[in-house]
């Protein structure tokens, strides 16, 4: 048992068996653009009661059928954001509460899920556009500046501002006898066609390897940069984005066919009471997933179809892993569950099924925090994609609800 440092949850990922994972499932509906409105596109989904999405299947013509023929579905989530929601509102209700956990040694993962054009990149802020540099750049340097700009620009910049703020506060508080040293490092990669590519130092494709002794997953040879400010990270992000593989598809000319993964490692090192070095590391994984639209919907052929299939493979196995984890957590906390059976052994989580899940293994198991933000394009033209996205998100949420219920029983 470690000399405790005041982190409420005890030592970092020591007992990997305790499935105390927490998950937030949120949905965000983007506004229709002027062009879309001018082209006669109509919204087929809306938020009601703060956390519920109503989706209505329109007639083929796009004209809503009133009465019986209109098919209406409702899904409730932890939170649902309509077209007027601000970047700050989304961040504050999703990732922000977990930044403190990250700083106490817990892995946190945030996914943006949804079809191409649904608003994933906007929600994550992964284009790296603003963090203080936008508009009134009154002397660029100096950490701390640009927080307002960060707030306007998505989850990545906003999380980073809070990570650096938290690290700063702990540095000040921990600068006494125990002399804590904090460092923040980032890596940025994409999973493209089931290959892992370094976006900071482009080269060949990289392999995931598991350091079993330390219980961590690594990407061999992946560049990691030590960083000191949000602006610095966003510069890396922009440089990395320039190295991304993007390819026009039938679905969208700028469709991203790859999963972009920004990992922020926070490390605290100090001497314990016996003079031993104690190093603790936790990771914030911020992931702009590839478009979830089905390959078949884009009329892809040949090489592009294969990429589509790989994308679906990673997304599918991500969903499977999350489901299995949640079921295992339900079994563990329910002591066999309300349905009276003997406690079953936890099911195997199939991380090895895809590159994305192999990569995220240690960010998804044990004590971790997961945020899934499902993004919707409201247009009635993309009803099927939106409906599929709601299904995917609802599945994650359903399992979680069951976990919570069986924990109560």
Q: Residue 127 CB, nearest distance to ligand ADP (Å)? A: 8
Q: Is 120 in the site for ligand ADP (CB under 6 A)?
A: yes
118 is in an annotated binding site: yes
* 120 marked ligand binding residue: yes
Q: Which is nearer to ligand ADP, 19 or 117 (CB)?
A: 117
Q: Name which of residues 246 to 275 contact Mg ion (CB under 5 A).
A: 256
What is the smallest separation between the CB atom of 62 and ligand ADP, expressed in angstroms? 20
**Residue 95 or 399 having the CB closest to ligand ADP:** 95
CA–CA separation, 323 and 297 (whole Å) = 26
Query: Considering only 9-17, 67-75, 118-126, 309-317, which stretch makes contact with ligand ADP by CB under 6 A?
Result: 118-126
Q: Does 375 bind ligand ADP (CB under 6 A)?
A: yes
Residue 118 binds ligand ADP, judged by CB under 6 A: yes
363 makes contact, choosing from Mg ion, ligand ADP, none, with CB < 5 to 8 Å by partner type, with none
- Residues 11-50 as x/- pattern, contact with ligand ADP by CB under 6 A: -------------------xx-------------------
Q: Which of 406, 389, 407, 409 minimizes the C-alpha distance to 77?
A: 389
Nearest to 230 by CA among 152, 154, 145, 170: 145
HSE-CB at 376 with a 13 A cutoff on CA atoms is: 30
Residue 30 interface partner, choices ligand ADP, Mg ion, none, CB cut-off 5-8 Å depending on type: ligand ADP
Minimum CB distance to ligand ADP smaller for 155 or for 325: 155
Q: Which is nearer to ligand ADP, 125 or 366 (CB)?
A: 125
Residue 375 contact, options ligand ADP, Mg ion, none, Cβ 5-8 Å cut-off depending on partner type: ligand ADP
For 134, the token pair is 């936008």
128 binds ligand ADP per the rule CB under 6 A: no
- Number of residues counted as binding Mg ion (CB under 5 A): 3
Which CB atom, from 31 or from 97, has the smaller least distance to ligand ADP?
A: 31
Q: Which of 87, 104, 121, 249 touches Mg ion by CB under 5 A? A: 121
Asked if residue 122 binds ligand ADP (CB under 6 A), the reply is yes
CA angle, residues 212, 215, 220, in degrees to nearest 5 = 70
Binding residues for ligand ADP, rule CB under 6 A, total 11
Q: CA 367 to CA 13: how far, in whole Å?
A: 6
- For ligand ADP, the binding residue among 121, 158, 282, 307 (CB under 6 A) is 121
Please check if 308 is assigned to a binding site: no
Binding residues for ATP: 114-121
Binding residues: 114-121
Residues in contact with ligand ADP by CB under 6 A are 30-31, 114, 116-122, 375
Residues in contact with Mg ion by CB under 5 A are 120-121, 256
């Amino acid at each position: 048992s470690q000399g405790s440092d005041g982190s409420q949850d005890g030592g970092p990922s020591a007992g990997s068996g305790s499935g105390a994972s927490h998950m937030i499932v949120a949905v965000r509906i983007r506004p229709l653009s002027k062009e879309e409105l001018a082209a006669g596109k109509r919204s087929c989904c809306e938020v009601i009661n703060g956390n519920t999405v109503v989706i209505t299947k329109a007639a083929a013509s796009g004209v809503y059928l009133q009465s019986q023929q209109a098919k209406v579905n409702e899904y409730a989530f932890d939170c649902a954001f309509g077209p007027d929601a601000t970047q700050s509102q989304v961040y504050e209700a999703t990732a922000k509460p977990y930044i403190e956990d990250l700083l106490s040694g817990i892995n946190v993962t945030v996914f943006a899920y949804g079809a191409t054009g649904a608003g994933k990149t906007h929600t994550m802020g992964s284009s790296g556009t603003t963090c203080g540099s936008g508009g009134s750049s009154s002397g660029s340097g100096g950490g701390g500046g640009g927080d307002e700009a960060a707030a306007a620009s998505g989850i990545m910049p906003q999380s980073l501002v809070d990570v650096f703020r938290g690290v700063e506060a702990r540095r000040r508080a921990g600068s006494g006898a125990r002399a804590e040293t904090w460092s923040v490092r980032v890596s940025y990669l994409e999973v493209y066609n089931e290959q892992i590519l370094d976006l900071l130092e482009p080269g060949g494709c990289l392999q995931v390897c598991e350091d079993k002794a330390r219980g961590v997953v690594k990407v061999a040879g992946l560049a990691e940069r030590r960083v000191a400010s949000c602006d610095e990270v966003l510069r890396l992000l922009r440089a990395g984005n320039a190295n991304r593989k993007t390819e026009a598809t039938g679905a969208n000319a700028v469709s991203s066919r790859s999963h972009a993964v920004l990992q922020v490692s926070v490390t605290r090192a100090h001497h314990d009471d016996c003079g031993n070095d104690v190093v603790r590391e936790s990771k914030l994984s911020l992931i702009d997933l590839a478009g979830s639209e089905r390959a078949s919907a884009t009329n892809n052929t040949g090489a592009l179809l294969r990429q589509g299939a790989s994308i679906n493979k990673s997304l599918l196995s991500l969903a499977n892993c999350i489901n299995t984890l949640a079921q295992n957590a339900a079994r563990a906390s329910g002591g066999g569950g309300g349905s009276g059976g003997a406690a079953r052994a936890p099911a195997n989580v199939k991380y090895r099924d895809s590159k994305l899940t192999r990569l995220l293994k240690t960010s998804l198991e044990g004590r971790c925090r997961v945020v899934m933000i499902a993004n919707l394009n409201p247009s009635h033209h993309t009803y099927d994609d939106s409906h599929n996205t709601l299904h995917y998100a609802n599945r994650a949420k359903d399992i979680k609800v069951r976990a919570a219920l069986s924990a109560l029983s």
